[in-house]
Chain A
Amino acid sequence: MKKILEKYEPIIGLEIHTQLSTASKAYSSDGTTYGAMPNTQTNAISLGHPGTLPMPNATVYEFAVRLGLACSCQIRERNEYARKNYFYADLPKGYQITQDTTPICTGGFVDIEDANGDPKRIGLTRIHMEEDSGKSIHDIDPFNTLIDLNRAGTPLLEIVSEPDFRTGQEAYNYLSEMRKLVRYLEISDGNMEEGSLRCDVNVSIRPIGREKFGTKVEVKNMNSFRNVQRAIDYEIKRQYELYENNEEVHQQTRTFDAAKGKTILLRAKEDAHDYRYFPEPDIQPVSVKQDYINSVKAELPPLPSELLAKYLGLGLSEYDAKLLTESKDIALYFEAIIGHTKNHKQAANWLMGSIKSYLNEKAVAIKDFPLSAKTIAELIALVDAGTVSNSAANGDLFKALLEQPNTSPKQLAQELNLMQESDSDALLELVQSVLQKYPAKVAEYQGGKKGLMGLFMGEVMKLSKGKADPKVTTKLVQQELEK
């Protein structure tokens, strides 16, 4: 690949379709639950019966504006719809209602990292509203294709990027960022396996320095982010070999065969569709006013990029900050903890350590984690004050709290006898008795064998049954020895 990139510049653009998580469909009031029994979520409109009138779902506008704001897009005031005509069994109307000349969002950008981890800005061409088709099932009945129209009419946003990508890795990073974004905005579950996020790519390459773009090839049907990356890298190589052998790259649509790791011809340009777009006269124009945009903006949740910047500003490492912002629910829990403590680093450690292990072990989401953020902050305070050791807090105390989530950590630490001995007077007695027990070692220490410190500490710990506060103890031992 390195060799190719020295001679050629790949030009890659992505089209993402994201299913919106509205309760009802884009233009009708039947439901959109994933995995429902076949053909139980339809109505006269999504079935394409004559004489019906589609009516747009107000929430689709809210979701589209949220995404537009999050990507700094221009949001169009006057929105109209168009019919995109084609015949297919899972599209009962014979046309898809989409936006052709008036996409709700234009321009804007998403910031990602390139293959070297350096920041890169990907431009957006447009985001428009449209509807999904039904599902064709080819593998149940050997003689027929079966059609389930539950998905027909489910709202989609199509997000078209500028051809700003140069490698498959960049496309992968962009898809991950986009999925994070739609999940933070709560407009889609972003689940590629369930088809709520789908991606088509356009790939061409040109010799470095040449102005004119190469012939563009479209690749469809990738079912994972990794396969999008593989398909792009394969396609760059395929086109490179064609160029090097003085063969022509044909304009065509290809599909990705994940098992073979190659792209395969789906249709040539001659079979390209003629969609005969025309204005959809059944839906009146929708005007999106500045007041409305402002009200959506006011309700916008914190964005991952904003939280990342905030956590870096709090002094967290880039690694911690990225992990914390990977999912919105984790980030919000972290926000809640740091609402109760100033020890941000410890808050991150708790969340990415003991709490994450608990969640993984029990396979539960942070939403269902039994302890409140306030309780975690109290645990942090107990450790900071030296009342409970860090290992006891993360160990026995944490375990006990999970069983009695409504008890205060301090009270439970007392009940379980986990409080550290940091009362200087009591500790001093222990220290003195240890030093009296080993007069020879004390003399050696005073003669310069500082390594004996560990022995004295260990003995004090033993006497206190592990509850002596190490910091206070060290200080007392030193003080006594240097007398």
Chain B
Amino acid sequence: MKLDKQTVEKLAHLARLEFSEEEKEAMMQDMDKILAFVEKINELKLDGVEPLVYLTEEENILRKDEVITEVSKAEALKNAPSKDTDYFKVSKVLSREE
């Protein structure tokens, strides 16, 4: 499978990444390699084999509804590149998307 530039651009947009034209070319080649590797798996006969999602067969690993305060406000904000004493700061977002 050959990856086209449009797909790279779409993926870049979804991942909120910006690439120059050269980087896009490099990405196309890298991702082609990744896809080729993954396509190898398609050669396996997997009829009737359920996909593996979980690494154990355990069920019902639940937590009791109890509050445990582990992180202070200062600690929460500590690693943020931009902040004030109360909030994380990000560039102005005008319209909300979700």
Contact = CB atoms under 8 A, between A and B. Distances in A.
A140 to B, nearest CB: 8
Given A44-B71, A287-B59, A147 B65 contact: no
Given A23-B66, A56-B63, A58-B64, A144 B92 contact: yes
B91 A145 contact: yes
B69 interface: yes
Nearest to A286: B60
Given A23-B65, A42-B76, A146 B70 contact: no
Contacts of B46: none
Interface string B73-89: 10011000010101111
A284 B63 contact: no
B75 to A, nearest CB: 9
Interface stretch (A29-37, A67-75, A316-324, A470-478): A29-37
B92 A37 contact: no
Size category, B interface: 35 or more
Contacts of B53: 80, 279, 281
Interface string A270-287: 000110100101011111
B77 A39 contact: yes
A267 B90 CA distance: 22
Contacts of B69: 30-31, 41, 43
Contact of A141 (B60, B67, B89, B94): B89
Interface string A165-205: 00000000000000000000000000000000000000000
Contact of B96 (A29, A42, A136, A284): A136
A473 to B, nearest CB: 63
Q: Is the interface of B mostly helix, strand, loop or mixed?
A: loop
A345 B71 CA distance: 55
A52 to B, nearest CB: 11
B10 to A, nearest CB: 8
B21 interface: no
Contacts of B66: 23-24, 29
B38 interface: no
B36 to A, nearest CB: 21
A329 interface: no
Interface string B12-29: 001110000000000000
Given A39-B73, A39-B77, A29 B90 contact: no
Nearest to B80: A147
Interface in B10-59: 10, 14-16, 53-56, 58-59
Nearest to B88: A147
Contacts of A38: 73, 86-87
Contacts of A136: 93, 96
A22 interface: yes
Contacts of B96: 136, 221
Q: Which of A40, A47, A144, A287 has the most CB of B within 10 A?
A: A144
Nearest to A24: B67
Contact of A43 (B70, B77, B86, B87): B70
A78 to B, nearest CB: 8
Interface stretch (A3-11, A85-93, A358-366, A378-386): A85-93
Interface residues of A, number: 54
A204 to B, nearest CB: 22
Contact of B56 (A22, A138, A284): A284
B97 A147 contact: no
B61 A30 contact: no
Contacts of A61: 62
A267 B97 contact: yes
A150 to B, nearest CB: 10
Contacts of A283: 61
Nearest to A283: B61
Contact of A284 (B61, B70, B89, B93): B61
A42 B63 CA distance: 17
Q: Which of B14, B15, B58 has the most CB of A within 10 A?
A: B14
B65 A22 contact: yes
Contacts of A88: 93, 97-98
B86 A286 contact: no
Interface in A110-129: none
A100 interface: no
A285 B73 CA distance: 33
B87 A146 contact: yes
Contacts of B65: 22-24, 57-60
A143 interface: yes
7 contacts: A24-B66, A29-B67, A58-B65, A136-B93, A145-B90, A273-B97, A287-B60
Interface of B: 10, 14-16, 53-56, 58-73, 76-77, 82, 84, 86-98
Given A56-B62, A145-B89, A148-B87, 6 more contacts: A43-B71, A60-B65, A140-B87, A281-B55, A284-B59, A284-B60
The 6 closest A-B pairs by CB, nearest first: A146-B87, A59-B65, A147-B88, A29-B68, A58-B62, A89-B90
